[in-house]
Structure formats: structure tokens, C-alpha cells
Structure 1
Amino acid sequence: MSGLKSALAGLGLGLVASTGYAHAANFAFEDYFVGKTVADGHFAAINGVNRKFTVDLTGKWDGHVLTLREDFRFEDGTRDTKTWRFVKTGPTTYTGTREDVIGNAMVHMSGDTARFNYLVYLSPETKGNKVRFYDKMVLKPDGTVLNTAWVTKFGFPVAKTTVNFRKVDHEIRHKAKRHERVNR
């Protein structure tokens, strides 16, 4: 079960401007992740594993490296924490590392889409059950990000996950506007 949690932890990414809705021209990890982000996700595997989860993300940017802490809560009550470190290597590229990722994740952004892939041990304590994640993140017009990730083993798809990200400040403004309309 710990391996599944580690695998899911790799999915906690989002890409939207932190001060409102983003446009393709300013679609960047460091803009979106500074501060608080939340996500809801679902993981389904060919072996019947089917889990829902939420993620609270906290990001800090030092001008070159984005440190992104992901705190996962699964529907069965289990929790997991992972930390990504993304180094900006160019205007639209990053390399990412995390405690359970084998090597580096290479991130390439184009317009409203980010793509990256990386290897993960689903059983990190024994370095067993190695799989590859292929993430595609798309910035939506409403400022949310949809991440679809395929998990493969020996080149064959074995699982899929979807994660929807949104900025906490955007969520707070949306709730305040809704409350304002109700109280009129």
C-alpha cells in the first residue's frame, strides 16, 4: 500500500497563474505553485485498485528552484507526504526530483500543456515494482489544471489517474462571491 501512495504522490502538480487566470504565455510552475494549491484525484489500476484522494500543496520559489510539498489524504484515511524540487532549466523546461523518483523528471511545457515522465518504485523500501508515469497537464480556461497520467510497466498501461488542481486563493474568492450572491 505504501508503494501505491508513493506512486500517487507523483501526480500532485498543477499549472495556473497565482494571481488569477493564466494564459499560455505565462504558464509556469513557479507562478502557479508559490503558495497554496489543492487537488482532488482518482487512481484506477488494472488489478482492481480504485482510490480517491485529496492533496494540499505548498510551494516556495527561490528564483531558481521550486520546492513543492504535497500532503496526500486518501479516502481510507491514510496519509503520505512527498516533496518535489523543480529546477528551471530554460523558459519552458524544468528537471524535477523527488525522494521516490528514480533519476530526474524532465518537464517540457508548450502553450497550455506540460508533459513529463519519470520512473518510480511502487515499493520504495525494497526498490521493487518499477513503473513509469506519463503526465499531461492542461491549463483550463477557468484557471484549473487537469492532470491525466498513465502508469506503464514494461511499456504496457497498468493504471490511470486524473487530478484536478486549483489555487486556494481562487477557491476562497469563488466561495466569497457565491456567499455574497446568496446573501443579497
Structure 2
Amino acid sequence: MKIAHCLVVALALLVSSAGSGAAETGQTLEDAFRGQATGVGRFKSRLAGVDRGFVVTTSGRGSGGHFVLDQAFRFDNGALDRRTWRFKKTGPNTYIGTREDVVGTAKVRVDDDVIRMSYDLITRGKNGSKLQLHFEDTIRRSGRDTIVNNGVISMLGMTVGSVDVAFKRQPLRRRGKQGVEELARQ
């Protein structure tokens, strides 16, 4: 797997990866990411000579004491990928998160209108070697149904890239009783 592909997948994450908007005062991570959203983003790394776009769709829901955020990526070269975050609340404004490619746990903090995520992941370099990268994501509300994720990617303390994603929340579709049941599951 190419490093640029892995970097984009890892960060778009989270975050990138969000449903309804960054947390406002009194909101939780669940409030911010519940439901469906579509994000358009770009990964840039001068060091690796990469400037690559992608679209990510997300779906967030509660599940067995966790908050689950599914992500489906489509890159500008046609490549597809999927990732799933599982978040657990650890305090009034704190969470830990896990994902298939994350080392240990991601630390998440919600402060007023900002969500901050910090985590490491393992990806493959161009020659197939394993690389450990560190991510710092800052997620803010940019409008009623829009949030922006700005991420900085570093390795060994040196910035190696960035990812910027703008997410637009998708309206919930109600189809009689079935639509209400769908809302209840989210």
C-alpha cells in the first residue's frame, strides 16, 4: 500500500470523519459525529511529493457502550478503503478511540467548539517497510452542517504532511415508521 494512500486513510479520519459538526458547548463527541456526512479532502506532503484528493463518507452510531464511526474512502485515483473507529467515553470531555491501523489508543478531548485527536498509526512505506506516524487533528464547526478537520502528520517529531477535510452533514431521510426506526438506531 502506498504511503500517501495510508496517510490519507489514516487521517481522513477521523476524523477525519465526522457527521454533524464540531462539538459546541455542552455537546459530546457523539453529538458531533452521529449520522451521515460526506467529506472532501486533500492530503499534502512536500517531503513525499504528494498532493492527493479524496472523498470520504461517514456513518456514526452508538453501539454497546461505544460510539462507532464507519468511514468509506474514494481516492482521486479510484482506490477505495474502509476504516472503523470505536470510541469509549473516559470522562466528561474525554474519550479513547481505536481503529484497525492505530497503535494503542487515540486520545480525544472535546473543549467548547473544538475536538482534538492525537494518535499514532503504522503504515507501509514505498519499499514495504513499516512506518509509525503521529497525527494531531483539530476539528471545528464551520457552519450549521459543516465541520472542518485540519490534521498535521509527523514522524520522529518532524512534520511530514497535512490533511484538510470539509464535512457536510447529510440530511436524515424519514420514510414513515421505517425512517423513525432508522433514527432510533443511530
* Secondary structure at 2:139 match in 1: strand
Alpha-carbon contact 1:108-1:114 (below 8 Å) kept = yes
One-letter code of the match for 2:35? G
- 1:4-15 superposed matches below 5 A: 4-10=4-10, 11-12=12-13, 13=15, 14=17
C-alpha displacement of 1:48: 0.9
Does residue 146 (structure 1) correspond to residue 157 (structure 2)? The answer is no
- 1:14-163 superposed matches below 5 A: 14=17, 17=20, 24-46=24-46, 47-62=48-63, 64-123=65-124, 128-163=130-165
One-letter code of the match for 1:147? N
Looking at structure 1, the residues matched to 129 and 33 of structure 2 have their Cα atoms a distance apart, in angstroms, of 30
Looking at structure 2, the residues matched to 91 and 106 of structure 1 have their Cα atoms a distance apart, in angstroms, of 14
Q: Which runs of 4+ in 1 moved over 3 A?
A: 1-4, 14-17
Looking at structure 1, the residues matched to 155 and 134 of structure 2 have their Cα atoms a distance apart, in angstroms, of 7
Alpha-carbon contact 2:41-2:55 (below 8 Å) kept = yes
Looking at structure 2, the residues matched to 143 and 26 of structure 1 have their Cα atoms a distance apart, in angstroms, of 17
Mark the runs of 5 or more structure 1 residues left unpaired by the alignment: 171-184
Alpha-carbon contact 2:35-2:60 (below 8 Å) kept = yes
The aligned length equals 166
Alpha-carbon contact 2:23-2:110 (below 8 Å) kept = no
Does residue 164 (structure 1) correspond to residue 166 (structure 2)? The answer is yes
Equivalent residue for 2:176? none
Mark the runs of 5 or more structure 2 residues left unpaired by the alignment: 173-186
Q: Output one character per residue of 1:49-102: Cα deviation in whole Å (capped at 9) or x when no partner.
A: 110000011122137311111000001000000000011112211100000000
Q: 1:35 to 1:105 in 2, by over 3 A?
A: same
Compute the RMSD of aligned alpha carbons: 2.2
Looking at structure 2, the residues matched to 135 and 79 of structure 1 have their Cα atoms a distance apart, in angstroms, of 22
